[in-house]
Amino acid sequence: MEAAAPRGTQDILPESAEWWQQVETAAREVARRFNFKEIRTPIFEHTEIFARGVGETTDIVEKEMYTFMDKGGRSLTLRPEGTAGVVRAYIEHKLYGASPLQKLYYIGPAFRYERPQAGRYRQHHQFGLELIGSVDPAADVEIIGLTIAFYRQFGLKDL
């Protein structure tokens, strides 16, 4: 047994974990300030969710997904990105029933089989925003504003 993390992954040790907690807290706070609500989806989904959502011929689906068969013979995939699972949950749980406009955010790990290099890992962490049910360009402006507010919390000003 090799006593090393798998290639393309990293441990978050105690001295770094506090920094990660600060980033996640800042993300949650700014999302809530803009009236986004947190959603948590499974770390794996049925493979077809990503094939339909991302596109069957994209590099993500063809080359970068961690896909496996479960004991029941179903094809499952570790989450390569957050949007597909959020949309699946929106439909499955009929979130549109309460309000057609849903402002959702998520924070969590995602997995892609990519060539590891500086700053690029096979397991990465994603903070995502989904504003579902609006075709108004103001929705995009809101997402951009939230993103700027997030970065400003860390002292980035000229955005």
Q: Which domains does the chain have, with CATH numbers?
A: 39-137 (3.30.930.10)
Q: In what side-by-side order are the strands of the sheet with 75-78? A: 44-46, 75-78, 67-69
Residue-wise pLDDT tens digits, 71-122: 999 999 999 999 999 999 999 999 999 898 999 999 999 999 988 777 788 9
Q: What letter represents residue 93's amino acid? A: H
Does residue 29 surpass a pLDDT of 90?
yes
Does residue 147 surpass a pLDDT of 80?
yes
